[in-house]
Chain A
Amino acid sequence: MMVVFNVALTLLSLAVICFLYRVVKGPTVADRVIALDAIGICLAGIVAVLSIILETSVFLEIILLIGILAFLGTVAFAKFLQKGVVIERDGNH
């Protein structure tokens, strides 16, 4: 049974490497942002598989945390790309 989890871990690591290729190569900034977002989600999957391998449930908060942080970071970067500022002072102008 452990072989299955190790295979899953290997495949997730390969996926991270492929996304890293897109981060390095990506012609536009948007490519890199999306690749980083996907790396974050792959990382959540790796933490999940690792917590199965280590037979512990103390890492489950980390998964939710990585999801929240990946969303926040992607939204911040998207806003920076679109508007030039991350946090506006006054939305009415």
Chain B
Amino acid sequence: MNELILRTVTAVVTFMIILFGIQLFFAGHYYPGGGFIAGLVTAGAIILLLLAFDIKTVRSMIPISYRTLIGIGLLFALGTGLGGLLFDVPFLTHAHGHVMLPLLGDVSLHTAVLFDLGVYLVVVGVTMTIIETIGEDE
């Protein structure tokens, strides 16, 4: 079965969807968005790859175990929570500040982004685990 059109469109559209997901993730603090919807959009990009190709090909494209991703995301969330304890403040106290980075200049950074990254990884991991488990079922 020739799927030339679908595969070509997928090659172009996947990058746009992933970029949209990254934009949603980083805009979450000031605009609508955040880790949850960004994770779902990124999972949508991978699902589009799964539709255009098959599970085996996508696994070789993205050699990530999605179950491990869930664990890493939970560790990120727990780690940002426990990080507050090191500075003698309650659990999940977040810190922020302005940092001078070499290329980007003055950047306002917040540890809530790391918590959001945990949410993002868990959402991607859970969604892809559900989809792949159902897809593999005979």
Q: What residues make up the interface of A, taking CB atoms closer than 8 Å to B?
A: 58, 61, 64-65, 68-69, 71-72, 75-76, 79, 83, 86-91
A90 to chain B, nearest CB (A): 5
Partner-binding segment picked from B51-59, B62-70, B100-108: B51-59
**CB nearest to A58 among chain B residues:** B32
25 A-B pairs with CB atoms under 8 Å apart are: A58-B32, A61-B32, A65-B41, A68-B20, A68-B41, A68-B44, A69-B44, A71-B13, A72-B47, A72-B48, A75-B51, A76-B51, A86-B135, A87-B50, A87-B55, A87-B131, A87-B134, A88-B54, A89-B54, A89-B56, A89-B135, A89-B136, A90-B54, A90-B56, A91-B54
List the A side residues contacting B87 at CB < 8 Å: none
List the A side residues contacting B53 at CB < 8 Å: 91
- The DSSP consensus for interface residues of chain A is helix
Contact indicator per residue, chain B 10-24, by CB within 8 Å of chain A (1) or not (0): 000100010010001
List the B side residues contacting A61 at CB < 8 Å: 24, 31-33
**Inter-subunit contact A79/B41 (CB<8 Å):** no
List the A side residues contacting B52 at CB < 8 Å: 75
List the B side residues contacting A88 at CB < 8 Å: 54-55
Count B interface residues, CB 8 Å: 26
A84 to chain B, nearest CB (A): 12
B31: contacting residue among A58, A64, A69, A90, CB under 8 A: A58
**Inter-subunit contact A87/B54 (CB<8 Å):** yes
Give bound CA distance, A61 to B38, whole Å: 11
**CB nearest to A69 among chain B residues:** B44
**CB nearest to B55 among chain A residues:** A89
List the A side residues contacting B136 at CB < 8 Å: 89
Residue B6 at the chain A interface, CB threshold 8 Å: yes
List the A side residues contacting B50 at CB < 8 Å: 87
